[in-house]
Amino acid sequence: MGSAGDSIIISRVINKVKQVLSGQPAKIKLTPVIIPRAEHGISRQDISDNALKVLYRLHNAGFQAHLVGGCVRDLLLGLHPKDFDVATDAEPEQVKALFRNCRLIGRRFRLAHVVFGREIIEVATFRGHHQSQSEAVDDKLSKHSDEGLILRDNVFGSIEEDAQRRDFTFNAMYYNIADFSVTDFAGGMQALKTRKIHLIGDPETRYREDPVRMLRAVRFAAKLDMQIANEAGDIIPQLAPLLANIPPARLFEEVLKLFLSGKGLATYRLLQQYGLFGQLFPQLQPMLKVPGSKECQFVEQVLVNTDERINAELRVTPAFIYAALLWYPVEQRCQQLQADGGLSNQDAFNMAMNDVLNRQLQRIMIPKRFTLPMRDIWALQHRLSRRFGKRAYVLLEHPKFRAAYDFLLLRASIEGGELEVLASWWTDFQDADAERRKSMLERLQDSDRSKRSNRRRRRPRTTKKPQS
């Protein structure tokens, strides 16, 4: 039998789940503060021209039009927003009627995307509160799972309700194109000043509504160099398993945001701190329990290199990152298959790649356009050691040679030994002219012959007969 304290905790959890399942969010009292143009630092010169076009057209058509969320937060922090999101009282079909370059997307959240070449301005209708399950509810508009996860959210409401539905306090600030003021509904300005991340409403209820909010809290903490407030962070390890309820396709996009922000290493360390990384990569997590292990060093070095490339505005492919995060699970699985089934190294390695990928896809749906290059990078790790004859020249022409070579350099920097020698050889071979390449291959061939000859010359050890 559990203790009285355990009973209280269980009762509290049950009550919160019932509250979420009823569709009734906790009563959140917000006190909006209007900050006039003269008292904030947002300038239209820092706003995308296309976002301004959308705002003005909605406004001129008689609708409310506000910038909202991350773009307002970043502008107030003096950063350059990557995207500009618009909130309005116009419903998606009304937005589509105003813009010929608009398409409606999403089932869970019905959104309007106004497309300007490569730039997309996302327009969302103000969200309203869900009805309780005892009331007549159209499943096409509002639906919850048994765990409290919002499955469908097309209930529209007022700007005040929309602010209550936002996740973090600094994301509930609205820039009004009508008078250029900012309305701060939940103390977002104060959160920016104190560098604290607070949820709007009860953290447990909000995380159950959408467990991805736990990942977003970590991402914002790393990106903005802020701290997750205790009431928002302490409960995350307990609720981390709820990420298993998130569709794998959605988690793929969220993981890209986590590791391709230029703050990948800081994000990874926070994911570990809050018990979230193992929910995303369950095959890798058991290998990271020993600090300073080659697996830990490898993952951190991958993220250091990725951050450096992103911050230098160089290209980064998700295939390389996923290949690195799953490399040691593939190696471990290969060894298990060889030990258990007596398979050859090549057959075991091919089966290991399939097994690890299939298990990972159950948690994160990595598209085929990335899993194919991942397989190439992995397979080339074995082929790079076979350099005799024309093989070295063939490998140089392989489309994924450069990625596989970079991967080899990364492994060599952590593991050293023969890998370091192999990586150094490929570094020299790439830069060498035709004559020197030929000479390098000849020396390699001679060295191999010498090793085989020495093995043949060795005589088996004879044991002395015991004296009678």
Q: Which residues are catalytic?
A: 83, 85, 167
Pair of tokens at residue 419:
């890998």
The contacts of residue 92 (CB under 8 Å, 6+ apart) are 104, 110, 111, 112, 123, 125
Burial of 196 (0-12, 13-18, 19+ CB in 10 A): middle
Q: What is the dihedral of CA 310, 313, 315, 320, to 10 degrees?
A: -10
Distances from the Cα of 340 to the Cαs of 284, 327, 330, in angstroms? 21, 20, 15
The secondary element (H helix, E strand) that includes residue 150 is: strand 150-153
Q: Contact, 73 vs 192, CB < 8 A?
A: yes
The contacts of residue 222 (CB under 8 Å, 6+ apart) are 261, 263, 266, 267, 270
Nearest to 146 by CA among 212, 202, 214, 208: 208
Length of the chain: 468
Nearest to 215 by CA among 234, 235, 191, 240: 240
Pair of tokens at residue 25:
């969010």
Q: Contact, 354 vs 379, CB < 8 A?
A: no
Residue 268: φ, ψ to 5°: -60, -45
The one-letter amino acid code at 212 reads: V
Give the separation between CA 162 and CA 51, rounded to whole angstroms: 20
Pair of tokens at residue 327:
């490399």
Q: Contact, 382 vs 349, CB < 8 A?
A: yes
Give the separation between CA 110 and CA 127, rounded to whole angstroms: 10
The strand pairing partners of 312, in sequence order, are: none
Give the separation between CA 289 and CA 358, rounded to whole angstroms: 23
Pair of tokens at residue 123:
């327009």
